[in-house]
A and B are shown apart, each in its own frame.
Chain A
């Protein structure tokens, strides 16, 4: 019953990395079937396109020139700033995400379902809107503190969502056993519950860190120079792609190290039950005298993360005059945004599915490589990914250039990890023994995938798709460069309106964006595994 022993399963120290995984759980040494490997390889190649471009660009004037751009002391300084910001935002997101997940999923918190939805809604707020709303009220926030605040408030749901899913799906029997053995609630939480959520929290943390690495909007408004902002300034300042490309390579290396580190700490966690019976819902833990502090905590988070941006937008809407309203254009733009974001989510999910299944079910160099490639593009600034697709499209797919399919592809490159992380977590939670039974009954790998793995993981995969849908809707720099001429999304309209300083005119677009993105966020908040 190794797989129902998350303490051991999640801790590489307890189970040495060299140990053979029990049959039916992780297939050590078994190669993923071709039916999975081929599409996963396709997705990886796709995700690695920006790397190919960066290699071409950064080396076009020789390695010495690229090295000069990297070896500048400013590079180290910017890297330090990005890492510092990521560390703070990830820590804060973990505190917010894990505490809120536990409160809403495992306690008798009054209105738990409503809170679950409320604390997911910040996903719908673009980082630049969050930063702007805070700055417009507290101009003194600019700098590190403001950037950390704005980024934490929009990215902690990346931790909250997977941790909640695990807490809802995990078997409470383990905690009961721990309690029956005389461990107190705190000890049980630390020794049993926390190790169970650790893989999910770590996966979410990687997404938060990558979000911080790639963010340009919030840090730019907050005037805090990070690595990505350095890359943008480099494009802007020199109209020169070489130094920017060389810096981007550093960012990719950083991502790969981060993902590799996460994979190491993740160890060989499995969260599915084997054995008989099914996990039943956990009996909510009574909060007792902690009820009021818990409610205050939830209220405070909802107030700063949801109410604050909405109130500021409401103020803009109120001060704006009717001349700034153009309902027809707004409706049209909203429709377009929904369409491209949906297409982006579908393509991303399809590409992520084989990678996620392999990452969850197979070990070995190939599986590792595939998963890591999927992350390669995610930390890159949108403009770098966009320029790499411009590069490939004008050379090898000219008819697609500045057409919708290319924009949708850009979304897939940018957001593949969001979907891979969700898919991997969902597959991990479904019992692999069912797949083994199907295989033993002579089903082909593809059929097992279609009839067992995917249906079982479907809710989690769908949640990943909804998440991708939200992030596609908010995307700005790649959309600006790759959209068909004349096409607008809510994010690009928002950019146009704020470009002339007319925030009242921008408010309807910002509000529409948040409201539309709130629908999938709402569903995610209600989603139960």
Chain B
């Protein structure tokens, strides 16, 4: 009964099973000399990693994902990990892997290229580019921009602030405040901010747009969004301005993207080369010019117009590895009803 159709069905099934094997072959990582887990978005860093492949002299396979999810994956893989290098979007994920003892110590020569403020205290990860928290403001609505985030809880800013509470950078900033000023002060500040009825946006870009349109007067964002918009649209079209906070204010936190070499892979030598490439002048210039971040390796300065030099910023002094204590921050944000 119905033999031919069964046979046809079987053939179809077999074809369906085989199809992906033919169609879906990407870069075979077994042939790759180096596998990079990249928490940084492909759109931002692919050209740089293509150059990296040439520089290290072996095939490089890149796996893109979210920094936090890749960090969880690396923990699950343990010493069986396929990755040689973890390229994280923020210091927190690197701090977490360092705390679990999953990262190799880096050679002193590599570490020394970067200011101690932007590398792991255990010497097992190093920052490759920096991003600064700034206040965006609408010059038509704000005559005097606050010099500290503590002013944002004042009644005069009620309903005039935009922020992205689910954004990792915002949460890292709150973690920074907790490390700098303690949990009680941070909790009080969050409550004050919430009482000021800030407007919630999905991401930094939306906050910046809202400030430009005058939906809100002030916004908490990262500096490079503004420089990217200026590069894309021209300065006259970008209505918002940004203000770098002075005096070591927690609102001026400088967070770092960075790399760590994973224990347990046999790719350490080539991962080392890759890390050095990311600290090379060529790569550092890429961060400066393409992603508008701060180069962190000594001797390279940003060429982006009007971007104040990193050394001139009055950033708070903080151990970036401690930004891994996000859990407490999340709890506070939840208690404050922000996320």
Contacts and interface: CB of A to CB of B under 8 A. Distances in A.
A and B form one complex = yes
Interface of A: 74, 135, 142, 220-221, 223, 225, 233-241, 335-336, 338-340, 342-343, 345-347, 350, 383, 387, 390-391, 394-395, 398, 401-402, 404, 408, 450-451, 455, 477, 480-481, 483-488, 496-497, 499-502, 505
Given A236-B326, A398-B80, A485-B35, A346 B17 contact: yes
A497 B77 CA distance: 27
Interface in B18-32: 19-29, 32
Contacts of B168: 236
A233 B330 contact: yes
Contact of A484 (B2, B29, B43): B29
A485 B339 CA distance: 33
Contacts of B32: 485
B76 A343 contact: no
Given A402-B29, A480-B66, 16 more contacts: A74-B334, A233-B330, A234-B327, A236-B69, A236-B168, A237-B171, A237-B327, A238-B327, A239-B68, A239-B72, A390-B77, A402-B82, A408-B20, A486-B63, A488-B26, A496-B41
Most chain B CB inside 10 Å of its own CB: which residue of A390, A391, A488: A390
A452 to B, nearest CB: 8
Contacts of A223: 166, 200, 202, 339
Interface string B130-172: 0000000000000000000000000000000000001010010
A500 B68 contact: no
A148 to B, nearest CB: 19
Interface in B190-212: 200, 202-203, 205
Contacts of A391: 76
A240 B327 contact: yes
22 contacts: A135-B202, A220-B166, A225-B339, A234-B327, A236-B168, A236-B326, A237-B68, A237-B326, A239-B93, A240-B327, A241-B75, A340-B24, A395-B80, A402-B63, A404-B20, A404-B24, A455-B5, A480-B66, A481-B69, A486-B27, A487-B24, A497-B43
Contacts of A502: 43
A236 B68 contact: yes
B27 A336 contact: no
Given A404-B24, A455-B2, A486-B62, A394 B80 contact: yes
Contacts of A241: 72, 75-76
A225 B334 CA distance: 10
B24 A383 contact: no
Contacts of A74: 334
A394 B326 contact: no
Interface string B320-339: 00001011011000100001
B109 interface: no
B87 to A, nearest CB: 14
Given A481-B69, A486-B61, A486-B62, A335 B26 contact: no
B71 interface: yes
Nearest to B5: A455
Contacts of B93: 239
Given A390-B73, A390-B77, A487-B26, A237 B330 contact: yes
Q: Which of A339, A383, A450 lies at the interface centre, i.e. has the most chain B CB atoms within 10 A of its CB?
A: A339
Contacts of B72: 235, 239, 241, 383, 387
Counting chain B residues whose Cβ lies within 8 A of the other chain, the interface size class is 35 or more
B41 to A, nearest CB: 5
A387 B43 contact: no
Interface of B: 1-2, 5-6, 13, 16-17, 19-29, 32, 35, 41-44, 61-66, 68-69, 71-73, 75-78, 80, 82, 92-93, 96-97, 100, 166, 168, 171, 200, 202-203, 205, 324, 326-327, 329-330, 334, 339
B88 to A, nearest CB: 11
B24 A339 contact: yes
Given A455-B1, A480-B65, A500-B41, A339 B76 contact: no
A234 B200 CA distance: 21
A314 B200 CA distance: 27
Q: Which of A241, A394, A497 has the most CB of B within 10 A?
A: A394
A356 B334 CA distance: 42
Contacts of B44: 500
A477 to B, nearest CB: 7
A74 B339 CA distance: 13
Nearest to A462: B9
Contact of A480 (B27, B69, B327): B69
Nearest to A143: B200
A485 B76 contact: no
Contact of A239 (B16, B21, B43, B75): B75
Nearest to A344: B20
Nearest to B204: A501
A401 B76 CA distance: 12
A408 B17 CA distance: 10
B221 to A, nearest CB: 12
A238 B73 CA distance: 13
A335 B42 contact: no
Nearest to A487: B26
Given A391-B76, A485-B35, A336 B326 contact: no
B13 A339 contact: no
A496 B64 contact: yes
Given A239-B75, A342-B16, A233 B339 contact: yes
Contacts of A240: 96, 327
Nearest to A339: B20
B41 A484 contact: no
Nearest to B78: A394
B91 to A, nearest CB: 12
A505 B44 CA distance: 14
A404 B21 contact: yes
B82 A401 contact: yes
Contacts of A339: 19-24
A354 B72 CA distance: 35
Contact of A383 (B21, B64, B69): B69
A135 B206 CA distance: 12
A423 B274 CA distance: 51
Contacts of B42: 496
Contacts of A390: 73, 76-77
Contact of A235 (B22, B68, B203, B329): B68
Nearest to B83: A485
A143 to B, nearest CB: 10
A464 B71 CA distance: 36
Contacts of B73: 387, 390, 481
A339 B26 CA distance: 13
B171 to A, nearest CB: 8
Given A235-B68, A487-B24, A394 B75 contact: no
